[in-house]
Amino acid sequence: MTTAAIASWKQVTDRLEKTLTAFSEADLQRQVAPGRNRIYYLIGHLAAVSDRMLPLLFLGDRLYPEFDDPFLTQPDRTVPDAFSPADLKLSLTAINQKLTEAFDNMPAEDWFKRHNAVSDEDFAKEPQRNRLAVLLSRTNHMSFHLGQMLLVK
């Protein structure tokens, strides 16, 4: 089960990388739909969410906590773009590579342990709030935004 979940993560991250490579800098400024987020914003958003997985899954410290305000707290186009599109893409790649390496090295039984956002007491009541559930939900989240990006092309 964990092998299948990790394979799904890898498939989605690989597809995202290939998709982002095909976009020009001008494409990244396009909205996924009228009045919706730009691809630029979604890249930063995905980077911030994936970066938060590191401490959430007890895999280490975050690499880019500075992404939270412009890509999680603030809506798109409410603050100036503080990062170049190329830097955002590189950051997302670095985060996902670090996560993938950690996933490949995590023993299967560790996936069924609690994550950092649930207490020991709550985990005893709800063991489904485990690290595997986080991986599945974040893979789905990334896949959703990848689908939005593909609509732009």
Helices marked H in the chain — which ranges?
2-22, 25-28, 39-56, 68, 85-105, 120-125, 131-152
Domain ranges of the chain: 2-152
Contacts of 56 (CB under 8 A, 6+ apart): 115, 116, 117, 134
Task: Determine the residue type at 150.
Answer: L
pLDDT in tens, 71-114: 999 999 999 999 999 999 999 999 999 999 999 999 999 999 99
Indicate the angle between helix axes 85-105 and 2-22, nearest 10 degrees: 160
Say if residue 65's pLDDT is above 80: yes
Region 119-137: mean pLDDT is 97
pTM of the model: 0.96
Q: What is the topology classification, in CATH, of domain 2-152?
A: Four Helix Bundle (Hemerythrin (Met), subunit A) (1.20.120)
Q: Given this model, what pLDDT does residue 153 score?
A: 74
Q: Span 10-31, mean pLDDT?
A: 96
State whether residue 114 is helix, strand or coil.
Answer: strand
